């Protein structure tokens, strides 16, 4: 073994090195046991706090709070132990490997909680392992020097393979951070009971836009990009918005305006063109409307700004239904009207106040036309089922009480033919009879 070390020019560890490495190993084992205890103790409490204030019950991130606390406590304690003494090189390697493994496990656990792609999680964990291992043992320069030698120049900018690797690391880390912060912001806003659903959705969208903007400028700063170089990019971006992304940005602004003026909000029952249903989501591009048939229509936000929209629940969710009913002229009108009101009151979804009523609309050719007026408070459940229930009950009550639903009738009066028009026909008939 000593010969192999001599071949590579590495000094064989002496007795002091082995003692220092053994002490580091013992400290790391004690730190791991303590971190595991802290994770078992604080993990469930943190999970409950997250569920109550920031997360959702049963989500992946809530289930990973215990391991996250364990790995984080281990990294903090191991880092403190690493810096409390001037450890010998072999002990530094032991600390470096332990801290790098702990960081990789922490990144993997966070990525699993955020439901990132598997390749992305392992890539971030690999970067964390290599970076912290190099920092712990001294410097990353031996690892980064080969990557820094490979590159090319574009004008005044020199781009190396190391620059690309750093850009990938920063982008992946910012993506994970943005996803985590969006999750925290969305769940925290959702638990604000003083805000109604529309205000919560608007706050979530504004928070998401703010997080993305902050992450964008943070990435520029981390990568060391000169802001003056963004002038060309901003011009190209403006052209892209003007030509190709005009509709996309128009729908984004329209969605924010809809949430601000609250003319259409999640839960509303609306009619847009031939589409009738309740709004389930106002997204960045489109509004999701679920019809009574279970079909989900995605209508661009701009359509709700430029077209006529019928909102059944804008100021009140109470909707009045008109049900026409015709009865025979021979029936007792007062009794028939009383039975119609009774049938409407027996329907399950009909509101007690305002109470159902019956109006006499017109005297038709063969029927006395009435209209049952009733109110429901849940238009998103549909109106056809209420009409069907009321008409079925009207049919039963009319049958039981002798109220007739007439068929169309016509009275035909035939006048006598004038004698001067009937005589030639009669003569012709007599002549025909005489000829025979």
CA 94, CA 90: separation in Å to the nearest integer?
6
328 and 214 both lie in a single domain: no
- 212 CB-near residues (< 8 Å, 6+ apart): 178
pLDDT at residue 396, as a whole number? 92
Higher pLDDT, 416 or 348: 348
Which residues partner with 277 through β-bridges? 270
- pLDDT, one tens digit per residue, over 188-217 is 777 777 666 766 777 777 788 888 888 887
131: closest CA among 110, 105, 89, 103? 103
Residue 310 has φ and ψ, to the nearest 5°, of -100, 110
Q: CB of 277 within 8 A of CB of 290? A: yes
**Range 380-389 average pLDDT:** 86
Asked whether residue 304 is assigned to any structural domain, the reply reads yes
302 and 357 both lie in a single domain: no
pLDDT at residue 302, as a whole number? 83
DSSP conformational letter for 350 = B
**Boundary-marking domain end, from 311, 342, 376:** 311
Name the pLDDT band for 109 (thresholds 50, 70, 90): confident
166 and 110 both lie in a single domain: yes
**Boundary-marking domain end, from 204, 223, 242:** 223
For residue 276, the enclosing domain spans 258-311
CA 96, CA 79: separation in Å to the nearest integer?
9
What tokens were used for 237?
A: 């971006």
Higher pLDDT, 188 or 240: 188
Rank 137-141, 374-378, 415-419 by mean pLDDT and report only the highest: 374-378
325 and 293 both lie in a single domain: no
pLDDT more than 70, % of the chain: 72
Asked whether residue 420 is assigned to any structural domain, the reply reads no
DSSP conformational letter for 379 = G
Asked whether residue 228 is assigned to any structural domain, the reply reads no
Name the pLDDT band for 7 (thresholds 50, 70, 90): very low
CA 122, CA 72: separation in Å to the nearest integer?
18
Asked whether residue 176 is assigned to any structural domain, the reply reads yes
Q: CB of 302 within 8 A of CB of 379? A: no
Lookup result for tokens 């993506």 = 175
CA 360, CA 412: separation in Å to the nearest integer?
28
Q: CB of 189 within 8 A of CB of 204? A: yes
DSSP conformational letter for 226 = -
- 18 CB-near residues (< 8 Å, 6+ apart): 90
CATH assignment at residue 305? 2.30.30.60
CB-based burial of residue 302 (10 Å sphere; 0-12 exposed, 13-18 middle, 19+ buried)? Answer: middle
- Total residue length of the chain: 436
- 294 CB-near residues (< 8 Å, 6+ apart): none
Higher pLDDT, 68 or 350: 350
Question: Does the pLDDT at position 379 exceed 50?
Answer: yes
- pLDDT, one tens digit per residue, over 64-81 is 777 888 888 888 888 788
CA-CA distances (angstroms) from residue 409 to 161, 194, 327? 92, 62, 13
271 and 337 both lie in a single domain: no
CA-CA distances (angstroms) from residue 164 to 26, 149, 174, 226, 251? 39, 12, 15, 16, 34
CB-based burial of residue 272 (10 Å sphere; 0-12 exposed, 13-18 middle, 19+ buried)? Answer: buried
Cα angle 47-178-300, degrees, rounded to a multiple of 5: 110
Domain count, the chain: 3
**CA dihedral sign, ordered 130, 135, 137, 139:** positive
29 and 177 both lie in a single domain: yes
CATH assignment at residue 338? 3.30.70.100
Question: Does the pLDDT at position 404 exceed 80?
Answer: yes
Asked whether residue 249 is assigned to any structural domain, the reply reads no
Question: Does the pLDDT at position 247 exceed 70?
Answer: yes
What tokens were used for 353?
A: 């106040």
Q: Does residue 354 have a cis peptide bond before it, meaning omega lies within 30 degrees of 0?
A: yes
145-154, 243-252, 298-307, 346-355, range with the lowest pLDDT: 145-154
Higher pLDDT, 54 or 167: 167
43 and 147 both lie in a single domain: yes
Number of H helices, E strands in the chain: 15, 10
Lookup result for tokens 């509709």 = 247
Give the number of C-alpha atoms closer than 13 A to the C-alpha of residue 299, restricted to the C-beta side: 27
**Boundary-marking domain end, from 168, 201, 223:** 223
Rank 43-47, 113-117, 207-211, 296-300 by mean pLDDT and report only the highest: 296-300
pLDDT at residue 150, as a whole number? 66
59-73, 135-149, 170-184, 191-205, range with the lowest pLDDT: 135-149
């Amino acid at each position: 073994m000593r010969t192999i070390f001599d071949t590579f020019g590495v000094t064989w560890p002496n007795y002091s090195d082995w003692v220092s490495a053994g002490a580091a190993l013992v400290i790391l084992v004690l730190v791991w046991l303590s971190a595991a205890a802290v994770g078992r103790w604080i993990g469930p409490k943190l999970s409950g706090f997250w569920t109550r204030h920031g997360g959702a019950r049963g989500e992946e991130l809530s289930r990973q709070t215990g391991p996250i606390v364990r790995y984080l406590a281990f990294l903090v304690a191991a880092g403190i132990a690493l810096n409390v003494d001037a450890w010998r090189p072999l002990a530094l390697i032991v600390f470096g490997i332990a801290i790098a493994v702990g960081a990789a496990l922490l990144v993997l656990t966070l990525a699993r909680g955020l439901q990132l792609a598997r390749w992305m999680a392992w890539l971030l964990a690999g970067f964390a392992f290599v970076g912290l291992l190099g920092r712990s043992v001294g410097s990353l320069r031996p690892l980064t020097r080969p990557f820094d030698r490979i590159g090319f120049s574009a004008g005044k900018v020199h781009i190396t393979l190391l620059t690309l690797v750093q850009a990938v690391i920063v982008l992946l880390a910012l993506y994970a951070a943005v996803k985590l912060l969006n999750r925290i912001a969305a769940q925290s806003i959702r638990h604000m009971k003083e805000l109604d659903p529309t205000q919560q959705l608007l706050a979530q969208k504004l928070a998401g836009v703010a997080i993305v903007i902050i992450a964008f400028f943070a990435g520029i700063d981390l990568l060391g990009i000169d802001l003056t170089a963004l002038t060309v990019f901003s011009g190209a971006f403006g052209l892209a918005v003007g030509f190709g992304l005009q509709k996309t940005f128009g729908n984004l602004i329209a969605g924010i305006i809809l949430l601000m003026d609250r003319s259409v909000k999640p839960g509303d029952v609306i009619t847009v063109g031939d589409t009738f249903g309740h709004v389930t989501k106002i997204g960045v591009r489109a509004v999701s409307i679920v019809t009574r048939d279970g079909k989900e229509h995605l209508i661009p936000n701009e359509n709700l700004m430029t077209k006529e929209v019928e909102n059944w629940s804008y100021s009140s969710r109470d909707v009045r239904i008109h049900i026409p009913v015709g009865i025979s002229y021979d029936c007792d009108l007062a009794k028939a009207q009383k039975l119609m009101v009774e049938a409407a009151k027996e329907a399950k979804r009909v509101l007690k106040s305002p109470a159902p009523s019956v109006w006499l609309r017109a005297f038709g050719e063969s029927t006395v036309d009435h209209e049952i007026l009733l109110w429901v408070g849940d238009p998103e459940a549909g109106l056809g089922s209420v009409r069907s229930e009321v008409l079925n009950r009207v049919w039963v009550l009319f049958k039981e009480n002798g109220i007739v639903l007439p068929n169309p009738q016509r009275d035909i009066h035939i006048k006598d033919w004038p004698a001067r028009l009937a005589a030639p026909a009669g003569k012709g008939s007599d002549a025909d009879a005489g000829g025979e």
